[in-house]
């Protein structure tokens, strides 16, 4: 069976991108990473892409007067590489509604909380301020609203009393690296589909095994 062609958008070191690339090296993985695009020429993830022999491209948002023009340039590059699914992996730009609609149900993102809780920024600080006992990460299909969209998979991470934001961030990132490749595999294989704004896997709701055991106990 032919593999699904994937493009990844990054802005920095691209640690989640690395996790996806390494997972895709397995012969039985259903996706092939064909293109990595960064809006930042200094992104460390570009060096990793070069080491792996993956086509990469810099499209600097500062070269465009309008967000839609920037997104159109990214769209053109993705389509030229025959990309079928787009993964956001530390891409620090808000994409336009036009781009989201153009890639609807083929654009996925990972967020470092258990959505719909703790949308936006400064997540780990807010988690600790609220005193919650469990946080985690979420992979979801992207919608125009920030951190919205049908949830593909989630992983739980325990919060410790002595945690500082950086401590918690490291454990959540470990969970992200484990979860994102599994979620992409579900989408790339066609086993995760959106029906009435909910994700169905093999025609059922997301099974409990995709809510991973707590990390960091």
Q: What are phi and psi of 206, to 5 degrees?
A: -55, 120
User: E strands of the chain, at which residues?
Assistant: 4-10, 31-38, 55-58, 85-88, 107-111, 134-141, 151-158, 192-195, 198-201, 204-205, 211-215
Which of 61, 111, 160, 196 is catalytic? The answer is 111
Residue 160 annotated to the active site: no
* Length of the chain, in residues: 217
Q: Helices H, strands E: what count in the chain?
A: 6, 11
Question: Catalytic site residues?
Answer: 111
């Amino acid at each position: 069976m032919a593999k699904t062609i994937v493009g990844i958008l990054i802005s920095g070191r691209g640690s989640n991108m690395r996790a996806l690339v390494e997972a895709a090296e397995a012969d039985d993985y259903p996706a092939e990473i064909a293109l990595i695009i960064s809006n930042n020429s200094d992104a460390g993830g570009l060096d990793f892409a070069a080491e792996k022999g993956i086509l990469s491209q810099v499209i600097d948002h500062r070269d465009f007067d309008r967000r839609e023009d920037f997104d159109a340039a990214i769209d053109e590059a993705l389509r030229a590489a025959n990309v079928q699914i787009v993964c956001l992996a530390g891409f620090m730009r808000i994409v336009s509604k036009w781009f989201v609609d153009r890639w609807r149900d083929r654009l996925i993102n990972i967020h470092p909380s258990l959505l719909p809780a703790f949308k936006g920024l400064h997540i780990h600080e807010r988690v600790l301020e609220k005193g919650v006992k469990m946080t985690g990460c979420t992979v979801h299909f992207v919608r125009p609203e920030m951190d919205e969209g049908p949830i593909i998979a989630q992983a739980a991470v325990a919060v410790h009393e002595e945690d500082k934001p950086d401590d918690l961030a490291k454990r959540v990132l470990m969970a992200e690296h484990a979860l994102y490749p599994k979620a992409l595999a579900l989408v790339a294989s066609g086993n995760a589909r959106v029906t009435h704004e909910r994700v169905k896997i093999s025609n059922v709701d997301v099974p409990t095994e995709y809510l991973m055991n707590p990390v960091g106990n």
